[in-house]
């Protein structure tokens, strides 16, 4: 008997339980990275090193084509890599590595959606902090929590978000 689990993909039996465990690892990893970045302004490589094989296994179980998984990693890290180069230290290299790992889990369309959500939510949060005097334009705001938030929303809803977005133009 096949069932739909979380992301709309059909799995059955042991694969279903394994996918659920992997998604749990993904969500815990995102929460941990967001917390650590918020408290210490750093993305932990140790967490990324757990998320990489888990993401590859998740993709390999048929959640997405492995090519889309690798392309998502390349797309995300390329986009933030350019931002890192142009920002002169305004964005940390940990964020570039983090989005690359998120791309393994989200694929190309998911990582683009997640990154857009991260930029929007991060920008709104920074504007609110500046508005209430808790930050200035020179303040550093950790981006990891917004990458995590964008990734979670994208993981579960990217196809719906993209359908809505494209319906605005078609």
DSSP code string of 61-122: IIIS-HHHHHHHHHHHHHHHHHHHHHHTSSS-HHHHHHHHHHHHHHHHHHHHHHHHHHHHHH
Q: Quickly count: other Cβ atoms within 10 Å of residue 137's Cβ.
A: 6
- Reduce the DSSP state of residue 146 to 3 states and report it: helix
CA distance 62 to 58: 7
Range(s) of the domain holding residue 121: 3-167
Angle between helices 93-131 and 14-40 (to 10 degrees): 60
Instruction: Indicate the number of domains in the chain.
Output: 1
Tens digits of per-residue pLDDT, 69-119?
Answer: 999 999 999 999 999 999 887 899 999 999 999 999 999 999 999 999 999
Tens digits of per-residue pLDDT, 37-59?
Answer: 999 999 999 999 999 999 999 99
């Amino acid at each position: 008997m096949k069932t739909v689990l979380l992301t709309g993909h059909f799995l059955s039996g042991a694969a279903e339980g394994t996918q659920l465990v992997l998604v749990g690892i993904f969500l815990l990893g995102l929460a941990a990275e967001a917390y650590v970045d918020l408290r210490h302004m750093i993305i932990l490589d140790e967490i990324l090193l757990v998320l990489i094989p888990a993401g590859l296994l998740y993709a390999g179980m048929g959640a997405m084509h492995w090519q889309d998984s690798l392309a998502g990693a390349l797309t995300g890290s390329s986009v933030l890599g350019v931002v890192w180069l142009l920002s002169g230290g305004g964005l940390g290299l940990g964020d570039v590595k983090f989005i690359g790992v998120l791309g393994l889990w989200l694929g190309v369309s998911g990582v683009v959606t997640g990154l857009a959500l991260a930029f929007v939510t991060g920008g709104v949060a920074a504007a609110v902090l500046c508005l209430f005097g808790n930050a200035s334009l020179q303040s550093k705001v950790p981006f990891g929590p917004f990458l995590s938030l964008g990734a979670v929303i994208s993981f579960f809803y990217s196809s719906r978000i993209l359908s809505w977005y494209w319906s605005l133009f078609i």
